Amino acid sequence: MEQYKIDFIKFMIDSNVLTFGDFTTKSGRKTPFFINAGNYKTGEQLKKLGEFYATAIKENYGDFDILFGPAYKGIPLSVTTAIALNEVGMNVSYCSNRKELKDHGDKGILLGSKLADKQKVLIIEDVTTAGTSIYETMPILKAQADVDVMGLIISVNRMEKGQGEQTALVELEEKFGFKTCAIVTMEEVVDYLYNREIDGQVIIDDNMKKSIEAYYEIYGAK
């Protein structure tokens, strides 16, 4: 596994973003792990987060024009990652959408850069379980301009069923014809953390690993 992936797993744990226990997702799934990107709160954390995204983007995508972060969590992600990309020689613009249409001042639904025909757009998200926000985002983008959405980058691929039997990322690739990738997958997370001490504590022991495996027996993608 690449070093930046290992560093990102440790970073998520240190930031209390990746936790293990008993949780219930919005969709009602009982899950033994939870990813809460809202726990990236400090300037230092956001700077590092943008750098991890930038590394994964440089590794997986070519040149593009706009980094689009769907409201609301995608807004800070697009900003910090655009800054990090600039530090490694990629000067791209950021763009996000508002949840409500603004009718005064800077009118419209977009924040940041405006969109123009033929621009290459990369969407940035934290995690994608069923892909709902992307299905909502694509019509917004296409309503603004005839842009070329070239892909989706997320932090963690949960590797669960999306709307069908495949992962949400595979479903999105087939639906929209773009490339998807994640900084890490949950398989990589489990492989690295299993029976490994982090700050003197084993986070994924035999019992937790069994819980995760049982979860994927039900919700894992084919």
Catalytic residues: 102, 104
> What is the b/e burial string over 170-201, where b = at least 16 CB atoms within 10 angstroms of the residue's CB?
bbbbeebebebbbbbbbebbbebbeeeeeeee
| Rounded Cα distance, 195 and 201, in Å | 9
Determine the distance from the C-alpha atom of residue 217 to the mean position of all C-alpha atoms in its chain, rounded to a whole number.
Answer: 23
User: What is the three-class DSSP state of 163?
Assistant: coil
Determine the distance from the C-alpha atom of residue 188 to the mean position of all C-alpha atoms in its chain, rounded to a whole number.
Answer: 15
| Rounded Cα distance, 52 and 4, in Å | 7
Of 171, 157, 160, the C-alpha closest to 127 is 157
| Rounded Cα distance, 92 and 66, in Å | 6
Ranges of H-type helices in the chain: 3-14, 43-60, 74-87, 132-144, 168-176, 186-193, 206-219
| Rounded Cα distance, 204 and 7, in Å | 17
* Token pair for 5: 């992936």
